[in-house]
Amino acid sequence: MNKQDADILLELCRKPHVNQRELARETGWSLGIVNKALKNLTDAGLINADGSISAEGADEVERCRPTRAVILAAGFGMRMVPINMTTPKALLMVNGERLIERLIRQLNDAGIRDIEVVAGFMKDQFEFLIDKYDVKLIVNQDYGLKNNLHSMALAAAASEKRARRSGTGENVYIVPCDLWCDENPFRRNELYSWYMMADSADPDSGVRINRKDEVVRLRSGENGQRMVGISYFLADDWAALKGRLLEMDKDHRYDEVFWEEALFPTGQDRMEVYARTVSGESIVEINTYEQLRELDSGSNHLHSEAIRVIAECFGVSEREIVDISVLKKGMTNRSFLFSVKGDKYIMRIPGEGTDFLINRKQEAAVFKAISGKGLCDDPVLILPEKGYKITKYLDQVRVCDADSEDDLRKCMKLLRHFHEMNIQVEHTFDIFAQIDFYESLWEGEPSIYTDYENTKKKVLELKAFVENEPHEWSLTHIDAVPDNFLFYQKDGKEELQLTDWEYSGMQDPHVDIAMFGIYVFYDRPEMDHLIDIYFDGKASDRIRARIYCYVAICGLLWSNWCEYKRKLGVEFGEYSLRQYRYAKEFYRYAKELIEKIK
């Protein structure tokens, strides 16, 4: 049965005994195609001569009936900043109803009650759905590291387990959590697998619908169509898709890939399922604060403290804050871009658990100390009690390329210039105290590393050397990593500044050199090259040994920090492991060099 025949049979299930013209109007197919489909269905024994569904046709409809749904709700929903600091996107209230509850209700109305929700970010907030709707929760622990292909793989693994147990397949709806559907998109009857597309254009989409009602990748010069994301799979197609999802999930190349990539078999530019086209106005995807404001201006979730602070700062109404978009998620904070009166700004919002990690009053003191010194733009607003910070947006910004010799030399020149200013503040950044502090935040739980105690003991052996070596303390950035060196355009010239001063305090400035290298995973030769650039090739073995010590010490510091963040549900993958390796490897390098210079 082809798609046209299936559409006609579905319409006959919905409205028996309709005539050909009504079928053409409801399905969108021409009268000629309708007549041909009716003949095909009659010849196949799926409908009777009077157009009613035959017993064989009823069996086919029953075989293809939806049996289960999977709702994908694990992600950060980063574009919903500042809303998603307290509420997962799926639980946004729109027109008096939570997004995910509306989708569940619409699935229930279509007869589907076997529903799984894949949750991750703020997963505990989804628990009430179990009692209220009898849904099942699948927890995606890696939501911070992987895209939604991993969520789909978890659902596929659960489905495979059921299939082995029952010996039967499943006809499944896949549903994104961020959709507001004006009319119910789910049906009691389905006859083929499909992926839902809107009839509206989308410049960010990489696919379109061709004349055969297939979803195909764009070729050069073609315009994309909006991908809605709801999809339906008959048991055989779902079984094939599950296999691809599970295989792709094992390959780290797909960690940041959307699950739809699995719909394109290797080497093909066409999805293996048909397109189902809907009106772009009937289904709204809510990805941003402004989209929610447009759909439901009375939503309680629009009452964001961050937005109110911006309005008060600039003396404008909340409606005048526009062009809100999320920036790259930082390791400590979330930031978003916005415009007021034609000018662009960035607002920083502290991330999970940062109240324990950063003293915002000390950060404000640092900005006061560096104000007017050309190291960075002075904040438009800084609220120490909340951790909010507003800064002017820099045009055409790029961060330091740690593999570029020219960038390294410029960044080390700025770093050394800053250190030579010998700026003084009243607070220090005590690395060893911070190591213990981050460890204390584990609340008695052991380290994930079995040899942690021995590694820490060795790192602490380096304390005496770094403290006894002659050095001058001054304001040190502490987080002087390549991503915090910003190249930007000003008056037609490329300028450079250093941003993110929230960890800054009095310390040995050589710590900043170590921090730069460990962030980008420099090995020993690369670290030595960085040291040579900073010191113009004049670093003594004693200085080099001290920096080696700081690499080991700071590696343990950030490893402990990562372990604390991990307990909050925020994973940093390779970064965490590499920091721990620095603690062990550069301890050995430091000890070897210290022995040499004695």
Residue 268 confidence (pLDDT) above 90: no
Strand partners, 399: 486
Q: 172: how many CB neighbours lie within 10 A of its CB?
A: 27
pLDDT score for 352: 55
How confident is the model over 168-188, as a mean pLDDT?
A: 94
Considering the chain, what percentage of its residues have pLDDT values greater than 90? 67
Residue 101 confidence (pLDDT) above 60: yes
Share the mean pLDDT of the chain: 90
Q: Give per-residue pLDDT as tens, 393-430.
A: 888 889 999 999 999 999 999 999 999 999 999 999 99
> Residues near 274 by Cβ (< 8 Å), separated by ≥ 6?
3, 192, 193, 194, 195, 213, 214, 215
The C-alpha atoms of residue 399 and residue 255 are separated, in whole angstroms, by 24
Q: Give per-residue pLDDT as tens, 345-379.
A: 998 877 655 555 678 899 999 999 999 999 998 88
Strand partners, 277: 197
How confident is the model over 262-286, as a mean pLDDT?
A: 89
The C-alpha atoms of residue 395 and residue 593 are separated, in whole angstroms, by 44
Residue 292 confidence (pLDDT) above 60: yes
Q: Give per-residue pLDDT as tens, 195-235.
A: 999 999 998 899 999 989 999 999 888 899 999 999 999 99
Task: Tell me which of 358 and 189 has the higher pLDDT.
Answer: 189
Nearest to 212 by CA among 11, 20, 4, 64: 4
Query: Contact at 8 Å (CB) between 585 and 522?
Result: no
Q: How many residues does the chain have?
A: 598
pLDDT score for 565: 82
Residue 182 confidence (pLDDT) above 70: yes
Q: 13: how many CB neighbours lie within 10 A of its CB?
A: 16
Segment (H or E) for 352: none
Strand partners, 138: 118
Nearest to 351 by CA among 78, 89, 73, 575: 78
**Model pTM above 0.75:** no
Q: Give per-residue pLDDT as tens, 534-592.
A: 999 999 999 999 999 999 999 999 999 999 888 877 778 889 999 999 999 999 999 99
pLDDT score for 331: 46
HSE, side-chain direction, 13 A CA sphere, residue 566 = 20
Strand partners, 119: 73, 139
How confident is the model over 7-14, as a mean pLDDT?
A: 91
The C-alpha atoms of residue 391 and residue 507 are separated, in whole angstroms, by 26
Query: Contact at 8 Å (CB) between 182 and 283?
Result: yes
